[in-house]
Structure 1
Amino acid sequence: MIRATRLTSFLIAVGIALSLGGCQLSGGNGEPKPASLAIGKPVTGEITLGDRVNYGDGTRTALFAFEMEAGEAVVIEAAAAFCGRLSLYAIDSEGRPVLQSAGDGNCTEQDGRQVQSRSRVSPEDGRYLLALSGREPGHFGPYRVSLSALALDEDRGLVAGDEVTGLLGGEKSLALKITEAGRYQIDLRSSEFDATLGLEGPDVSRESDDDGEGTDARITTYLAAGDYQLALGHLGGSGGLYRLSVRKRDGVPPGDLQSGGELPVGREVTGMLQGEPARYQLALAERSRVVLSLGSDDFDTRLDLEGEGVQLSDDDGGNDTDSRLVTVLEAGNYTVSAVDLGDDNTGVFKLQARAEPAAGESLALSPGSTQQGTLVEGEQRRYRLSVPGTANYVLTMESDGLDSLLKIQRNGEELASDDDSGGGSNARLELELEAGEYEVVAAAFGGGSGSFRLRAEVR
């Protein structure tokens, strides 16, 4: 265990070492010795102008000394009025401090204070020096520094419901056994490093960097019963203490999931993304006004529609981060894709298609004329533009009630788009068009509803 005895000579040695070689930690002779730190005996104080100055950046430092036995593991926690910097030194056989770890770790707010921690497993009996300093010259105020014994779990195979604590140096691989198929959430959390997490197994290959809170890593996915491998890692730094948990989440039974195939009209389907978009086939027997809705509590959605020369997309035409597309489609076959806007492509979603017959021909946009229309939430109006010969065209979309979004496509491929080049929230496109048939799409940037005016001119 950490010993509070034999520290007197140690503190004297530290003071001599810092005075002789420590412009980084020492501000001169006559400064107070490091405070003695032990498990279960927190030290409180305040960083003021009277504390040691770091001549490299002007911050002030408070020092603490403690001893550890070989194999002993501790957590060092510092709570202060500011988010500070913790630097840990080992004292060598000649009494000189040797830097072990330093850096700006993550802080969490607790009871109005900024808290950060460091972990340490001592390879041998030894003496240590801890420095707490601000990150800016103006960081002053009260602090509380404590040591806690750390009980580390042995590296072993994991099952659902496990939560283990360990230390990470380089990459670590752990086995995971799933006995019941379902939706699982795996979290790798640390306040000492930027976590990365990998998962490999039957039909699953996933990686995560910061899909959890802050710099934590999280993988949420459907897992079949079987054996998997977890890869724990970190970006930069030297690793440190982590907590790893595996839990089964409530969700839709696997039999009720439909993550692709035919998209029925008028019935909501529930699907799950597992590393790639989910694609559905929508068949329309007649010209129809179609409303597509995509929502998820797990990810920021994007809704894509392709087919019969049409290519449309929406990411936030619904509520919050949900998607909604409203448009008129000709009879034919279409592909509807549910996509995670964050490119992680994981999580449960709900998708629905509604359709009603739409009479009449598709709208035409002629040079020199103005089309007026009204958009409902998520709607995208499409107009035919026939170009008899190569010419320069100016397309404008103006509205007093919505942020205009204007696109031009040919054969389902988008050629150009604009949302604010027309002044204010109006859209304007200037481009040379070759002879042929084009489609002009009028929509609202970021969703919204309202009336608009659309015009095409030849220059």
Structure 2
Amino acid sequence: MRTLLMTTVLASALAVAGAASAQSTIRPGQTIQGNFSAKDARMGDGSHYRCYVVQTNPDEAYTVTLSSSDFDTYLSAGAGADCDDTSITNDDGPDMGTNSQLRFASSGGLWIIKANTLSEGETGRYELRVSAGERIRPTTQVLPVSVGESRSGRLEFSDRRADDGSFYDCYALTIARAGSVAIRLDSGDFDAYLGLYEGPQCDGDSIASDDDSGGGTSAQIVQDLRPGTYSVRANTLGSSEEGDYTLSVTSRR
């Protein structure tokens, strides 16, 4: 019964979302051999692509790999079954030459995977693989940070996950004396995003948030704070991004 229900869900989604281009299904743990020809659908840049739908489970991470010895590969993926709605992309890595690989964490339901050639008119054989789901057990740890301190960290699949699928670490910040505080998040691996909250758990409505006020992809919040306990989300802007970062808190006079 469960297999029949999953098949029905996938078929319904493909009927709705498959008008723009032909879509196929791929299962977690499955490897598919394919071949791009001049007859395949093209992106606006002239590159060929095919779309695959995978049924995922809640709180599981998946690795998608696209490899070919005939052309430079390009991968994209996103929640849902719309081939035009992808939020995660990868060209050459990590350290995979012209092969592509990406990872994503799912809240369950359908995900779309777009297998793509990097350049216009490329054709040839390829292999697309989706790993079996890896169970995610996010940490609930709250880390301390003080005014005048910098902390190094790394965001990855074992961290907390926001509603948009982005990972974050939670830092508790105690303010002993009222004044202006600058909170900054820098990373060379991802676009940084900051959130500031009342209380120690990084929940509820944020007092302030920021994307790029630190310059480039760095985030910065400058806020007048009363004495008390606050919390800071060191967050990625995009979903399923991973990487190293530095969080710093300084006083402003």
Q: Shorter-chain-normalised TM-score: which range?
A: 0.5 to 0.7
What is the TM-score with the length of structure 2 in the denominator?
Answer: 0.53
2:148 corresponds to:
none
- Contact 2:45 2:120 (8 Å CA) reproduced: yes
The CA deviation at 1:140 is 3.5
2:107 corresponds to:
122
Return the match for 2:62 from 75, 79, 93.
Answer: 75
**SS of residue paired to 1:144:** strand
CA distance in 1, matches of 2:136, 2:99: 24
- Contact 2:91 2:98 (8 Å CA) reproduced: no
CA distance in 1, matches of 2:88, 2:61: 19
CA distance in 2, matches of 1:187, 1:66: 34
Return the match for 2:235 from 232, 247, 251.
Answer: 232
What is the TM-score with the length of structure 1 in the denominator?
Answer: 0.33
Q: Which amino acid aligns with 1:48?
A: F
Return the match for 2:78 from 88, 95, 103.
Answer: 88
**SS of residue paired to 2:120:** coil
- Please, which runs of 5 or more residues in structure 1 have no aligned partner? 27-32, 91-96, 178-185, 201-205, 220-226, 248-273, 275-459
> Structure 1, residues 183-230: CA drift from partner, whole Å, max 9, x if none?
xxx86475xxx5125699xxxxx97565xxxx7x699xxxxxxx9845
Matched, 1:175 2:171: yes
1:241 corresponds to:
240
CA distance in 2, matches of 1:108, 1:132: 13
Q: Which amino acid aligns with 1:105?
A: T
Matched, 1:63 2:51: yes
**SS of residue paired to 1:138:** coil
Tell which has more relative contact order, 1 or 2 (C-alpha 8 A, sep 6+).
Answer: 2
2:180 corresponds to:
none
Give the alignment of 1:121-270 within 5 angstroms: 121-122=106-107, 126-141=109-124, 142-147=126-131, 148-149=133-134, 151=136, 153-154=138-139, 156-158=141-143, 163-165=154-156, 166=159, 167-168=161-162, 169=164, 174-175=170-171, 188=187, 194-196=190-192, 208=214, 229=232, 231-234=234-237, 239-243=238-242, 245=244
- Contact 2:167 2:239 (8 Å CA) reproduced: no
Q: Which amino acid aligns with 1:112?
A: G
Give me the CA root mean square deviation: 4.8
Q: Which amino acid aligns with 1:82?
A: D
> Structure 1, residues 282-329: CA drift from partner, whole Å, max 9, x if none?
xxxxxxxxxxxxxxxxxxxxxxxxxxxxxxxxxxxxxxxxxxxxxxxx
Q: Aligned residues: percent identity?
A: 11
> Structure 1, residues 53-75: CA drift from partner, whole Å, max 9, x if none?
14755433233332234x33323
CA distance in 1, matches of 2:192, 2:56: 30
How many residues align structurally?
198
CA distance in 2, matches of 1:245, 1:209: 18
Q: Which amino acid aligns with 2:55?
A: E
Larger radius of gyration: 1
**SS of residue paired to 2:55:** strand
